[in-house]
Amino acid sequence: MRTAITDMLGIDVPILAFSHCRDVVAAVSKAGGYGVLGAVAHTPEQLEVDLQWIEAEIGDHHYGVDVIVPAKYAGSDQGGFTLDAIRELIPSEHIAYVEDILRRYDVPALPDESAAPRYDTSGVAAPFSAGQADQLLEVSLAHRPTMVVNALGPPPPHMIERAKEEGRLIGALAGKAQHAQRHVNVGVDVIIAQGAEAGGHTGEIGTMVLIPEIVDAVSPVPVLGAGGIGRGRQMAAAMALGAAGVWCGSVWLTTVEAETHPVVKAKFLAATSSDTVRSRSRTGKPARQLRSAWTDEWDDPSKLAPLGMPLQPILVNEAIARIDRAAFTPGSGAEKLANYFVGQIVGSMNETLTSAQVVYAMIDEFIGTVRSLEAQLEA
């Protein structure tokens, strides 16, 4: 296939795979697509290791890196907070509420050797902050990803300047046409039009409406369709709406290579497209995820509301680690709480395939769909 995206990125098919798993990134790039490593949960040291591994694995194939620098978050006006500073901002009633959830669902404490980082980590940049993202950006630029993507809001000027200095492309996600226009105005090369069906942080506009709005707003800058895309028919629809390719995230979560928690993976395989919810319970911003007892607890209007970003992820970090560790016990409270980010495409994720098989199946169905449409024109 040849589109503006395949030409720009030097790839065979315009399928971009966002994943926190390096194995998925490498597999998709080797299959002719373009893997993008989600680095927000990485430490700089972990990112260094993973990028070295990806580059050794993929050879001359290309890949990208995704970081998160929100335009606005708690503490951004003061230049961002360290984890130590965040400890003073988390209300005691929220800490007590998290402990109450864990108590009511009988989730055991972590053993000392596997305890998650607590609030008093002095000098460490908070997650979802510019301080953290800057470190990850510098590690990325010391390697050879051809594109750096900001997944939440416009990339800050220094991020764009550093990437351009190193000859890299800049991508950014947008949930509204005006957001996409702002991205282009500051120098973004690729726009990902992400509809509300997507997993993770999303806006409220559906993909079918959003893609043509953004294509019209930023042409000739190439646009990738995202949100509810995991099959060839959906890829064909996105490209019929003007997209030069697709950006997929959720569909890789049930692949052979994915590092998805086994209990959560089983939930995904059994879920329908109605089993997700946009919730602030994990990051402090609306993010689509599998509905579970965890999201129900935080979305109950009679109870405490989640904190903002980055306070909420620091508040719940250890709790989620405890839930994930204990969720392997069938019928346990932790199993009921366990969840993860996923989009509405989860209803079609009902078998475990390799990442390459997903790519090939999408292309085969895309070709069949296009030929079917061509046949209708000939009739």
| pLDDT value at residue 219 | 97
Measuring CA to CA, how many Å separate 40 from each of 197, 214, 219? Answer: 21, 26, 30
Q: What is the chain's pLDDT, residue by residue, as a tens digit (379 residues)?
A: 999 999 999 999 999 999 999 999 999 999 999 999 999 889 999 999 999 999 999 999 999 999 876 655 445 455 555 666 777 889 999 999 999 999 999 999 998 755 444 433 333 444 555 567 788 999 999 999 999 999 877 888 888 999 999 999 999 999 999 999 999 999 999 999 999 999 999 999 999 999 999 999 999 999 999 999 999 999 999 999 999 999 999 999 999 999 999 999 999 999 999 999 999 999 999 999 999 999 999 999 999 999 998 899 999 999 999 999 999 999 999 999 999 999 999 999 999 999 999 999 999 999 999 999 999 998 6
Phi, psi of 162 (to 5 degrees): -65, -45
Spatial distance between the Cα atoms of 190 and 192, rounded to a whole number of angstroms: 7
CA distance 230 to 53: 26
> Is 301 exposed, middle or buried (CB count within 10 Å of its CB: 0-12, 13-18, 19+)?
exposed
- Report pLDDT for 153: 76
pLDDT of residue 120: 35
How confident is the model over 199-253, as pLDDT tens digits? Answer: 999 999 999 999 999 999 999 999 999 999 999 999 999 999 999 999 999 999 9
**Alpha-carbon distance 203 to 210, whole Å?**
10
Query: Residue 117's pLDDT is what?
Result: 46
pLDDT at residue 40 in the model: 87
The predicted structure's pLDDT at residue 158: 86
Domains and CATH numbers, the chain: 4-75+125-251 (3.20.20.70), 81-124+292-337 (no CATH)
Question: What would the two tokens of residue 223 be?
Answer: 């646009």
3-state helix, strand, coil in the chain (%, to 5): 45, 15, 40
Q: From CA 167, how far away is CA 111, in angstroms rounded?
A: 46
Q: Where are the alpha helices (DSSP H) in 156-277?
A: 157-165, 177-185, 207-218, 232-240, 262-270
pLDDT reported for residue 132: 73
Edge-first strand order for the sheet with 287-290 is 200-201, 287-290, 276-279
Instruction: Quote the pTM value.
Output: 0.91
How far CA 166 is from CA of 135, 144, 146, 161, in Å, comes to: 16, 10, 10, 9
Whole-number pLDDT of residue 155: 85
